[in-house]
Structure 1
Amino acid sequence: MLPTNYGSKSVHFHESAEANRTRDHVLKGFWTLARQRPREPLRALYERYASTSALAVGDRRYLEYVLNTAIEHEFGADIAELSLASISGGKVWPGRDALFPAGYHQIVNVLAKGLDIRTGHAVVGIDHRGSNVVLTTAVGETFEAAFAVVTLPLGVLKKRAIVFTPALPPAKEHAIDSLGMGVLNKTCLLFDDIFWQPDVELIGYVGAQPGQWAEAVSLYPYTRQPILMMFNAGAYAVRTEAMADAEIVSEALAALVDMYGSVPPPRDALVTRWRSDSWSYGSYSYVPVGSSFAQYAELAAPIGGRVFFAGEATHEEYPATVHGAFLSGVRAARRIAASVGSTIHAS
């Protein structure tokens, strides 16, 4: 596990003449307006602010870049679906982000030790009418236990891909409908050699098309491999999922050419499509305009003392995070233990 240093950052502008301008006043003015109207969609506030302040094209692009990378990437949703109130709940875990150069399976493999994990067993039904909970898979197998912990991603719950019998309580159905499932897709490019600054970890791009290829993480400081991990979020991320990998890579390279000039073709590429992934239907949850963080607690509420819920979308304090997902699992385990008069000690 390696901590990040996002302070090591470079920002590139489509219009090079815009690079050295100070724009603190632009950001300050926008957030002052947002604090005055905390429940109004940020997109509407942006349009109002840009119009009434007569922002220059360069200032508009920079503000869009900040809103895209700081808000849309963070929540996986367009600012049209977010307000200051909807992004201000929850808590921030202290310390820096961390990367796992060898992959997240390092955590999963440790947590799975000694457990009977069945892959390839897609659950399609959860029946909690009797004294036990019965799970039915897509091939008709059944599993029965005294308790069940449902860790289905919010996107899967929204698809109603699993039938609950009896049906979920109306309050939980409302929580599923009122929370949003965001999308943050990555395009990872492996080059033969590094052509960007070797000590830079975060690369920003204030392009001609706001919200497209605005941020990338260099994995070189962590892996010593010439890899760029480029991001897209929200509606644009969803749109790219319909494109072929070659077309997506071509768009990413066009952005890099605008930043660096001549850029070699990548040796390999990896593209994610989280909205299309039937095991998740999205990346992580968010609170849309008009909803509230209280819906996370409602989604976490057990049913009948036998069906418990966990996952990032059930943690009111740390949603949309790996640590929130982990802590929600600990909470579910403790609730089950308490129901049988036992305790679980977990750090």
Structure 2
Amino acid sequence: MSAKKAPTREAAKRKSTANNEDSNIKSHKAEKKVRPCSKTSCPATAPICFARSSQLCCGNGYTSRWYHITAGEHFCNECFEHFYRSYKDGYDIYMSWKRLWTQYGNTDHSIRSYMVDQVLPYWVECNLCHKWRSVFRETDISPKFLKSYVCTKVLKHQSQAEACEAPEDFRVEMTKEVYLWPIHISCNQYLKNSIYAPYVRDFVLDSVGISPSDTSVHKYPDGVFEVRPYMQPFQYDDPIALALPPDQLSDEELLYFPEFHGIYLRYYLIIRNTILVLWCLDVKSYVTLDRVMTYINLRGLSRIWLTLHVQRLLLFLTLKGYINSGVASLPKDVSFIQGLAEEQKHPVIIIGGGIAGLSAARQLTNLGVKVKVLEAGSQIGGRAVDRNSSFPTQSYLVVGCQNNPLVVMCKQLDIPIMELGDSCPLLTDSGEVIDDKTDRRMQFHFEAMLDINKQLCKDLEKDTSLMDRFTHLHTQFKDESGINFDKMEEHLLQFHMSNLEYACGSSLDAVSALHWDQNEDMPQFQGPPVMLQGDMKAVLDRLAEGIDVCNDCKVTGVDYSGKDILVSAGSEEFTASKVIVSVPLSILKAGSIQFTPALPDYKTSSLGIGHVEKVLLKFESPFWKDRVKTSNMFGCVQTGFSFRGMFDVFYDISNKEEYMLSTFISGKAIETLRQKSDKEVADMCVECLKNMFKDASFPTAFYVSRWYSTADIGMAYSFIPVNAGANAFNNMQEDVQEKIYFAGEATHSQFPQTLTGAYMSGVREAEKIYRALVDVT
């Protein structure tokens, strides 16, 4: 019996096993086997291989290992093996790429980096429906392609309406988690066809966000060069004003964008460097999101994520004055400008229609803030305009033309500028030409004395005048060295001191030896000095275009004791949400505006009122050309005057139709000017010219500025007096109770005593007010 039952039991067992196998097969068909991404916190439970490089690629199926790029981008182990194994077809392709990468870059050159650089698909935005679509990785993503892309370029067999109605890939929404998306980024991504490549040829490409495999950037010649004159977006060896290092964040950027470190740094550099160069290439047009994204040729979903940060950087760089400055045309819809946190009941009132007030007004207006400018005079411009002058130019000298906003505005309005160069022949007031050797020796001595003063100031606390300090050091040098200077050499020293008095705006007897050069260690504008040959009024009028300006509106009182600010101007009264005071320092010191409550004392005691005046002369012929040749300026070393500051340097400001010279009066010579009529001053100037050039003629026209006596001006620019302290300019720029703000050259420690400083101070105060009114995220 038992022998017969055994086979039956065996048969039953085998039958049961067969049934289970059939069941497993059906279950396998019903439930596809998948492997989630093994990276911690990655949300991809069923990744999709973007590479599709191997014939064995799993697609969206099972693989023994997923390689993570971002939360929405992975490649399978089969595609990895395709490039990794030497017997596979992809190995030689990968090795060729690796050799190029190591030649021009110094970052990771793994299979993962290769996939990101060469295989990851591009994502582009439809210009009609604004949905993001993935395109074939072989597609040439050029600015032309991006500007014209529509959904039918991918969904070719559908109508335009049907293609745009197709749903967006679910992974697109993941990229819009601005702070969550980068957590899942596993390696660097780099830019192709970079527009800023010509500026950074002296840098390792991947250190500035450019793909080392991009051969298109290798066509440029070696060495850094400028694509456009007068614009330099990047700092190299020396710091440059309104320029940034192309391979790292500046200290100021780190304050606003601390999250961009490690592998995220390259993303920031890609955006910021592209923005800066786009501005340099065309200062007449606003840099917008659309313009920037046209030139960010980056593979992968992270290109979508970058758009969120492009907006942030555009706003930051605009507020700081790096881009979109001056009188650039404002587009109708600027997406990166955020709306006000609440409706603005009252405008920001700007007291003073000079270049500081107008730059603040222009910037705030562009940012969507309502403003009103109250100007005491009959016309805007302040010290930037020569009132009642018939000359076609104000003869403004700009020291350092690269990135300088005054030069930028001239370029925007096609106003001519003239480079002055380094040549400045020196003649005595008797016509003798001073040899270069003597000139260079005395200039070196003069600068050496100033350098010694700078070193001494590091250990000194007690202040004295710069004149006393220089005289002491000069005498000490002669006593210790035994070197005697002849009369001409002493006259040359006086010439250089006179130039310094012009720069300081005061006699050196009143200037602080400790702090006169307090901005020397701050980044300055580089490049040759230039002369603005056109009419500054054109610049000022354009700044004021579309802005509510009230001329002949002299402000006499500002009451900021309540929630709203009351501004009195004669019989009129205005209500303001904020006030920017951009009047000359002399007006504040004179108490012409009554503040309630009173301003802190340091607002009127920190700085001194400087005086410099200008003389313009027009002639029938350029009689000076034969002796000074191609130089655009020449100096007059005075031996006949008992004081410095009269007509030391002449600038040739001629245009094609008229021959003109300009010169300046500074220091103690200002007292002589006050005692003379304009005709007498012009005669003194012509006498000086006749002594240097025997065939000098009388001018057909002349103009003498008298800022010291002009109503509502009263000065040229400020200076740091003895015992003023190191924070004199910073004290002037501090706002009062976040209600009263201050602009003007006297409030800008980096660029004091200049029109540039006045302009930049207006931009600075506009940023403060914008951030106060807007919830900037």
TM-score normalised by length of structure 1: 0.89
- CA offsets, 1:290-309, max 9 Å, x none? 22451211111111221111
Cα deviation, 1:201-224, whole Å, max 9, x if unaligned, reads 11200011232211111112x555
Gapped regions of structure 1 (runs ≥ 5): none
TM-superposed CA distance for 1:342, in Å, is: 4.1
SS of structure 2 residue aligned to 1:85: coil
Aligned equivalent of 1:55: 485
- RMSD over aligned CA atoms reads 2.3
What's 1:86 paired with?
Answer: 515
Distance 1:148 1:47 in 2: 45
Alignment of 1:178-327 (within 5 A): 178-197=606-625, 199-208=630-639, 209=641, 210-220=644-654, 222=655, 224-327=657-760
Alignment partner of 1:105 is 2:518:
no
Task: Please give the secondary structure, in 1, of the residue aligned with 2:589.
Answer: helix
SS of the residue 2:526 aligns to:
coil
Q: Distance in 2 between matches of 1:65 and 1:302?
A: 40
Deviation at 1:317, TM superposition (A): 1.1
CA distance 1:187–1:223, shift in 2 (3 Å):
farther
Q: Which residue does 1:19 correspond to in 2?
A: 434
Question: Shift of the alpha carbon at 1:64?
Answer: 0.6
Letter in 2 for 1:217: Y
Match of 1:142 in 2: 573
Inter-partner Cα distance in structure 2 for 1:200 and 1:28: 21
Q: Is the alpha carbon distance of 1:159 and 1:331 closer, same or farther for their aligned partners in structure 2, counting shifts above 3 Å?
A: same
Partner of 2:564: 132
Deviates more, 1:145-154 or 1:335-344: 335-344
More strand by share: 1
Q: What one-letter code is carried by the residue in structure 2 that aligns with 1:265?
A: F
Q: Which residue of 1 aligns with 2:422?
A: 7
Unaligned runs of 5+ in 2: 1-409, 411-416, 458-463, 479-483
Structure 2 residue aligned with 1:41, among 455, 459, 465? 465
Aligned-partner Cα distance in 1 for 2:775–2:551: 29
> CA separation in 2, counterparts of 1:202 and 1:23?
15
Q: CA deviation at 1:5?
A: 1.6
Q: Deviations over 1:169-215 (max 9, x none)?
A: 2xxx2242231121221110111111111632112000112322111
For 2:566, give the aligned amino acid: V
Deviation, structure 1 residue 26? 3.6
Distance 1:193 1:142, change over 3 A: same
* Separation in 1, partners of 2:672, 2:432: 31
Amino acid in structure 2 at the alignment position of 1:234: G
Structure 1, residues 213-255: CA drift from partner, whole Å, max 9, x if none?
11111112x5552111111112212430331111101110111
Q: Which amino acid in the other structure matches residue 89 of structure 1?
A: Q
Work out whether residues 430 and 691 of structure 2, in 8 Å CA contact, stay in contact via their aligned partners in 1.
no
Supply the distance in 2 between the matched residues of 1:23 and 1:217 (Cα, whole angstroms): 19
Q: TM-score by structure 2 length? A: 0.41
Residue 592 of structure 2 is aligned to residue 161 of structure 1: yes
Tell me how far 1:273 sits from its aligned partner: 0.8
Moved more, 111-120 or 209-218: 209-218
- Distance in structure 2 (CA, Å) of the matches to 1:65 and 1:264: 25
Report deviation, 1:58: 0.9
Contact 1:314 1:328 in 2 (8 A): yes
Q: 1:75 to 1:223 in 2, by over 3 A?
A: farther
Partners of 1:195 and 1:105 in 2: CA distance: 29
| Alpha carbons 1:78, 1:234 under 8 Å: kept | yes
Distance between the aligned counterparts of 1:204 and 1:343, measured in 2?
51
Identical aligned pairs, as a percentage?
A: 23
1:230/1:26 Cα in 2 relative to 1: closer, same or farther (>3 Å)? Answer: closer
* Local SS of the residue matching 2:712: coil
Give 1:104 shift.
1.2
Question: In the alignment, which residue of structure 1 is the partner of 2:528?
Answer: 96
Q: Distance in 1 between matches of 2:671 and 2:703?
A: 16
From 602, 605, 629, the equivalent of 1:174 is 602
What letter matches 2:518 in structure 1? G
Residues 9 and 31 of structure 1, relative CA distance in 2, 3 Å threshold: closer
